[in-house]
Structure 1
Amino acid sequence: MLMLDMGKPVQKVKCNTAILASDPLILKIDSLLKAGGVSNFQKAKAANKLRVQTSKIVSSFKPASITCLTMKVYSGHKDGVWDVAVSRRDQPVIASASADQTANVWGIESGKCLLQYAGHSGSVNSVKFHPCQDLIVTASGDHTAHIWQAAITPDQLRVHSSEDEVDGSEHEDEDDWGGRVAGSIGSSTLRTPLKELTGHSNVVIAADWLPGGEHVITASWDRTANLYDAITGETVSQLIGHDQELTHCCSHPTQRLVVTASKDTTFRLWDFRETIHSVSVFQGHSESVTSVCFTREDKVVSGSDDRTVKVWDVKNMRSPLATIRLDSAVNRLAVSSANLIAIPHDNRQVRLYDLAGQRLGRLPRSGRQIR
């Protein structure tokens, strides 16, 4: 695995770019985050964008093939929930990021909050579990990202699976990372990060771990993405080139590849596998790209305010493998380990598709089953 030289000064990565036709995604946050207008650059680009053939166009109105049923509701945040993550270490926990300035870790089976992180002073916009340690990275409207301890013991899971509420008492121990960590059972609130990642001048809208968990990528409304050393908290590289606010970022599960999405209607693929970093720019969406995700099968899925979701092959991204046309703008989508795409819409629907673009179903808005 390529390791970056931590002794070198921070790099501003602005490489020669290959412009390809592609579709980025949109992340749309209505309440606390201000909306950006369409620039002259966007208008000119939309008028002169590259035209390519899409291999497959799929309608969103075909009958669903599976039935969805609400199994558990996780209730406790005091404002909108922007992001949800599942533990990558096969622990029975999930995490949520909220506009109420907190991130919560929940027991999947009990539905109870096991740990709350309250160290941010702004909306918590994204949350991601470390691939192999009990750590979480969160991105916030306070212009920072935080790395914090999220160790959940079997005893905590047993305690919280009962009807008893935690007493809210706190106990902290020193961690190898130099920070304060949550201690024994009953430590329900954590307020101090292990590392605070600074350097952005505007909202940090998303953050993710690179493979191995030694580096973190962040995306910001200041139009840049930063690569950090997760141990020291130092900025390794600043990725510049987007012409509007960034809306999302995602790292490949096994390779040192990162994608960033922007309101400038593009998404970019950044390659850190070689000493000389490269970047490719993908056009194709006609409006803001709200999110972009890698799958485990070397695919990229992008969603946009232009009411489309597109599936791409990382090895040949000149045209999408499938284009899903929808009746509403797309918010921050997610792809499961089973390659199911969950597409949340402005109209409050959440629809499920496979990577071939076939509609599988939609999630119910209440406790009833729905197709």
Structure 2
Amino acid sequence: MESKKAWKLKDFTAHSADVKCLGLGHKSGRVMVTGGDDRKVNLWSVGKPQCIMSLIGHTTSIESVRFNPNEELVVAGSFSGALKIWDLEGAKSLRTLTGHKAGIKALDFHPYGNYIASGSMDCNVKLWDVRRKGCIYTYKSHKDAVNCLRFTPDGLWIASASEDNTVKIWDLTAGKLLSELKDHTGPVNIVEFHPSDLLLASGSTDRTVKFWDLESFKCICSSDTDRNPVKSIYFHPDGSCLYSATGFSLKVYGWEPFVCHEVVPAAWSDIADMAVANSQLIASSYNKTNVSSYVVDLKQVAPTGTDGKSDSLRAGMNSSRRSFITERPPTSCSAEPSEPKRSNTPPEKNESNEDDGSLSRAEIQNQDEYHKLYAGRANAKNKAEPFRPPFEDDYTDPVKASPSVRKEVSPRVRHSPQEPVREPPKETPQAKDSVLAEDFLPKQKPSASGSNNVSEGELVEVLTKGHSTMVAVLQQRSRNLQIVRTMWTSGNTKSAVDSAINMKDKAVLVDLLNIINSRASLWNLDLCNLLLPELKDLLCSKYESHITTAANAVKLVLRNFGNVIKSNMEEPPSSFVDISREERHKKCLACYTVLSSIKSLIRSSQSTTTPKVASDFREIMILLSGIE
């Protein structure tokens, strides 16, 4: 029987809220880092469901994560535009860097220096000096969010992929734009440099992979149009082929001339990152709170497997193309390499930098795995030997795995010896619908006689303890509203609403709803479909103002679109094709489904509401009866 080429390795819950980003360690292919809406950065061994370490201290959701080349550091970018750099060996936070004005979607470490590049929804790319805690330069040219960043193997250029359909190449030494690659017809999701040759690959929402010559900055070939957007590509470490994970398959591409070597069926979707280790391709994806890992046996996949022609194929590729010059004295992240040339433009003066506070900490969840991983690295450094991660030689098909391979380790918690043990931070009010006064008041009031010996200074300290948290929440809310306002003023109401929903901040959504409720002309069936599920959630809020706003919006929908929904409930006849009517039927059916669940919700909660809310609910029930 033919052996299986691809299989699922593990599926597990990675965060208590939605996972927003994921990155694999490309040196070993054995470690993974994830970031989520719970504001945590979690470290994992690939294929094992027990978290090794949780990195805590971010104040907003984590939008992007990236290992450094040696897998000793992790950088995480948040929705607020701040970066945190974490030392995994020391289990501590090293730096917090701020300066972006919107969420960070792209990150990369310099291949040998102490530098990080970040790309943001504010359309800018920033280059950071980690040692000096500052921004060296800001590259401003993109017209939309930056989705991906990659340094060249020699560390002299940066490639940035953007929602504006372009790839831009930046020269770090000159601080200027070298070239703009414009052949894509949709947002560019990812870029990857060839490991040695002056070649770049890019994947786009236009469902193609394009290959670019970095001497002429021209597109030399393009893949056929796929069925799905291209979100993840990865060059084989020997440079013989490019892997593209789209839809439910892995496609293996060559170039000059373009060829698809093989299509490997895989039961996956929306792969976020890939790595190659021991003749196996490791791929990972996320959906809501879960993360899934997959394995492809490259020994059975052309051109690196099956016929053993990888070396001859590599030798037969375009030998005239120049290569990156990557020879340099050996360096590491802890070393002090000589600095690359700086731009003639002086560093920016207005970038703010924050040292890590007491709330930033690393919690080791799996002490055994942590010591295996990082004690092994330390020993290898002391012996000047290459480090090999202490994992199995390969990832076995889980059906054939022995019980010992599938055994899970019980969780342990240990604080880093480099840091004093600190109390875990209190839950920030940002996760709630709004701020409660009791969150910032002392839990016990002093008696009249003063028998509890609480001094005035201690009482003031308790009262002001939550001030910084309150300020952080309000600042974040202000930033969220500014983002929504920017989209709103551009005339794209749907994008503004989409953005407010994705922020998962009910107060921002309620503010936006109050504006939309006052302008009935803004509503249409698309907006109804988008907002009705959110209105249903708001009707369950414990805050009367949120319920009232949601109820007013539901009444407005029923008054203006009730008859439209009712008249389009029946499926169009199949005797002729009317696309617009079919689309209207689907939208109205979706609205009716949510409205029916709202009706059930109101029936079950009418007895526990305030008089004002009860009055709103009765009015909604009357309007709902008109569409039945």
Q: Same fold (TM over 0.5)?
A: yes
- Aligned AA (2:179): S
Distance 1:148 1:62 in 2: 36
Distance 1:91 1:345 in 2: 21
Distance 1:138 1:324 in 2: 34
Question: Equivalent residue for 2:224?
Answer: 283
Distance 2:159 2:47 in 1: 36
Asked if residue 60 in structure 1 is aligned to residue 19 in structure 2, the reply is: no
1:212-242 deviations in Å (ceiling 9; x for gaps)? 1111110011100101111222111000011
Question: Equivalent residue for 1:198?
Answer: 140
1:159-194 deviations in Å (ceiling 9; x for gaps)? xxxxxxxxxxxxxxxxxxxxxx23xxxxxxxxx410
Identity of aligned residues (%): 18
Question: Equivalent residue for 1:8?
Answer: none
Alignment equivalent of 2:100, drawn from 93, 101, 120: 120
Moved more, 238-247 or 249-258: 249-258
Asked if residue 253 in structure 1 is aligned to residue 200 in structure 2, the reply is: no
Distance 1:138 1:276, change over 3 A: closer
Deviation at 1:125, TM superposition (A): 0.8
Distance 1:61 1:232, change over 3 A: closer
**Structure 2 length-normalised TM:** 0.39
- Aligned AA (2:128): W
Distance 2:395 2:258 in 1: 23
Question: Equivalent residue for 1:20?
Answer: none
CA contact (8 A) 2:10 2:294 kept: no
CA contact (8 A) 2:10 2:47 kept: no
CA contact (8 A) 1:105 1:114 kept: yes
- Aligned AA (2:117): V
CA contact (8 A) 1:245 1:263 kept: yes
Question: Equivalent residue for 1:43?
Answer: none
Distance 2:143 2:62 in 1: 23
Question: Equivalent residue for 2:273?
Answer: 333
Distance 1:355 1:314 in 2: 22
Deviation at 1:109, TM superposition (A): 2.4
Deviation at 1:283, TM superposition (A): 2.1
Alignment equivalent of 1:105, drawn from 67, 70, 85: 85
1:113-142 deviations in Å (ceiling 9; x for gaps)? 211221211111111111121111111111
Distance 2:153 2:9 in 1: 37
Alignment equivalent of 2:76, drawn from 79, 96, 100: 96
Question: Greater share of helix residues, 1 or 2?
Answer: 2
Deviation at 1:206, TM superposition (A): 0.9
Aligned positions of 1:161-310 closer than 5 A: 181-182=132-133, 192-272=134-214, 274-275=215-216, 277-298=218-239, 299-304=241-246, 306-310=247-251
Question: Equivalent residue for 1:342?
Answer: 283
- Aligned AA (1:102): A
CA contact (8 A) 1:140 1:204 kept: yes
Larger radius of gyration: 2
1:88-131 deviations in Å (ceiling 9; x for gaps)? 2x372222233231222111123322112212111111111111
What runs of 5+ residues in structure 1 fail to find an aligned partner?
A: 1-55, 152-180, 183-191
Deviation at 1:73, TM superposition (A): 2.1
Aligned length: 269
Deviation at 1:196, TM superposition (A): 0.6
CA contact (8 A) 1:129 1:136 kept: yes
Question: Equivalent residue for 1:86?
Answer: 67
Distance 2:244 2:75 in 1: 23
Deviation at 1:77, TM superposition (A): 2.7
Deviation at 1:150, TM superposition (A): 1.7
Deviation at 1:314, TM superposition (A): 5.5
**Structure 1 length-normalised TM:** 0.64
Deviation at 1:284, TM superposition (A): 4.9
